[in-house]
Amino acid sequence: MSAALELVHADAHCVVVCKPSGLLAVPGRGEAGRDCLSERVRTEYADALIVHRLDMATSGLMLLARGADAQRTLSIAFARREVHKRYVAVVSGRMSSLEGEIDLPLSADWPNRPKQQVDALSGRPSLTRYRVLEVDDARGTTRVELEPITGRAHQLRVHLLALGHPILGDALYANAEVQAASPRLLLHAASLRLAHPASGEPMSFDSPPPF
């Protein structure tokens, strides 16, 4: 496994790795887009197949299937919301509620791709649960745990922005001051819970945020 990737779990049916911030999950455009997590994993596990993605700027746990049968089983589990993910983020400002839900429909902001937007008329239903972990009044930030119930593109980033609390280091959605507060997006996929694609046994993985 590449030194740039942290192998968390591997068996005959699936692989879990910790993706660093700044690495594409799948191939992008042009020569620069060839280096990505899926291709790095395939150098050791040639049958590894994608079942979900993380934004390039997001770090944390990512699951890959080994072979078409496992990919099909895991894809169905994701579609049925049987795979449970939790993220940790550091956002700008003090969140007024210690926990809650963000229920705002999202759609692509086509003139400004790849950005997404809250769209009450034609957006797809999108739900995020959140829980405040820590408030840093000196820095004016809040550390928050996030559970995406749906899996829309940029869902966590847009939902937090809509609350008035953009994620630190978010080059797509935050203003210049919040962008400059961190050299990277402070969003990390910290927890993954699912049934094993072959045995059905519960699997649980955790990755502490590197920030």
Active-site residue set = 55
Q: What are phi and psi of 74, to 5 degrees?
A: -70, -35
First to last CA, the chain: 24
Is 113 exposed, middle or buried, given 0-12, 13-18 or 19+ CB atoms closer than 10 A? exposed
Residues 169, 39, 209, CA angle at the centre, nearest 5°? Answer: 35
What is the residue whose two structure tokens read 């999202």?
Answer: 106
Are the CB atoms for 59 and 190 separated by under 8 Å? no
